[in-house]
Amino acid sequence: MRFAVVGDPIEHSRSPAIHNAAFKHLDIVAEFVFMHVDADDFGRVVEELRAGELDGVSVTMPHKHNAFEAADRRSDTAERSGAVNTLIVEDGRLIGYNTDIAGVKYAMDAAGTDAGAPVLVLGYGGAASAALLAVEGAKIYLSGRDVKRAAEFVGRMGVDATVLPWGTPIQAATVINATPLGMAGESLPDGVVERAGVLIDMAYGAARTPAVALSIALGIPAVDGLTMLVGQAAEAFKLFTGQEAPIAVMEDAARQSLEMRGDFVPANFDVPTDFEGAGFRLEPLGPQHNERDHDAWMSSVDHIRKTPGFESSDWPAPMSLEKNLDDLTGHARDFENREGFTYAIREAIRDGDDVIGCLYIYPSKTPGHDAEARSWVRASRAKMDAVVWRAVLDWIDLKWPFENLLYASRETREQRTRNTDR
């Protein structure tokens, strides 16, 4: 049997390690692989499933809606959440499930949640929909930065929940952080963790998130998103194989894979979190940049596709603000796990609010290079492209530990010759 985890990006996923460990433990002849699929190429996955080349897939960003649309039939929870993260084949038909709900329930059991306690869900995205369905029937509160959007989200979900202003704590509540906060070291609002009874933090990384660290320091039971990942993977495993999952084996594999990652840069290397050049500055890209980042590249698709380093790519392809948030969450996770580093390019003015581009530093897939950098700026700042390239090239050469960096030149052949002769 052959299974895959499908997404873009996908290299950060722990799913292959988790499932392959379970297959080995139960002597199941099967493999679980990475499958990088661009946002507009999910049809390839459907073709392989229907042709029997794949027996099932786990689906991550940005394809959960694509999987929902591709399914011939969906489970009740998948229908209500509007997302599918697991596809299997039954009698030639694609059946879609959302195992994230099972993942939330598993995390709550692992944390020893009091069944009668109130629940405070933070966020109103895809992760929050799984949380709401997992705790339906409890006394639920939901808090988001935009109260109006939070109320609309609760209405769409059809779950009885009270919407609260962002940062409102609930005494002795089971707090479920369904936002990306923590992926890049951010803390939850003051008082939310301190007054919690239990914390379920969907964010995770190589180190504890600030919320989990605070909970442990205060003696409040807490689990992170890796525990939820294992719970949803166990549910998917049962759908894939028809067998109960060896969940302890899967959790050990997940933790070990997390510890093994992050060797893109040496363990003693302090990754820079800021840099300032002529007219611009860099800071780690994260969910806090969502609207400004989305506006920057959506307004410049054709321009970016002509930028060196992106000419042969179909990226960027238009996507919703919500899917862009998923993408930024993935980049923040990569940064936290030291697997790749994405920076927002901002205006140099300290109180300037514009995102004018992005810089990506990731392992190179090109033989002879240990790292690859790519950058773009929005069309209205096109003159900054070469400025950013030159400054970043010098910065990486001076501050980063790479020996053979690939970074598409912005210089003409005449300029390169002139610089070489200096």
Binned average pLDDT, 10 residues per bin, the chain of 422 residues? 87 86 95 87 93 93 87 93 92 94 94 93 89 95 92 93 95 92 81 95 79 93 91 96 95 80 76 93 93 94 91 74 84 85 87 84 81 94 95 94 91 45 40
Q: Pick from 342, 315, 329, 306: which is nearest to 182 by CA?
A: 329
User: Do 113-220 and 275-420 have matching folds?
Assistant: no
Other residues' Cβ atoms within 10 Å of the Cβ of residue 380: 13
Peptide bond into 62 cis (omega under 30): yes
Residue 265: what pLDDT? 86
Residue 314: what pLDDT? 65
Question: What class does CATH assign to 2-97+242-257?
Answer: alpha beta
Residue 320: what pLDDT? 86
Residue 103: what pLDDT? 94
Superfamily of domain 275-420: Gcn5-related N-acetyltransferase (GNAT) (3.40.630.30)
- The CA-CA-CA angle for residues 118, 132, 209, to 5°, reads 80
Q: Which of 64, 105, 306, 383 is catalytic?
A: 64
Query: How do the domains of the chain map onto residue ranges?
Result: 2-97+242-257, 113-220, 275-420
Q: Pick from 228, 1, 242, 191: which is nearest to 104 by CA?
A: 228
User: Residue 141: beta bridge partners?
Assistant: 120, 162
Whether domain 113-220 has CATH 3.40.50.720: the reply is yes
Residue 419: what pLDDT? 44
User: Rounded CA gap, 74 and 109, in Å?
Assistant: 26
What SS3 state is found at 199? strand
The answer to whether 342 touches 358, Cβ cutoff 8 Å, is yes
Active site residue 383: no
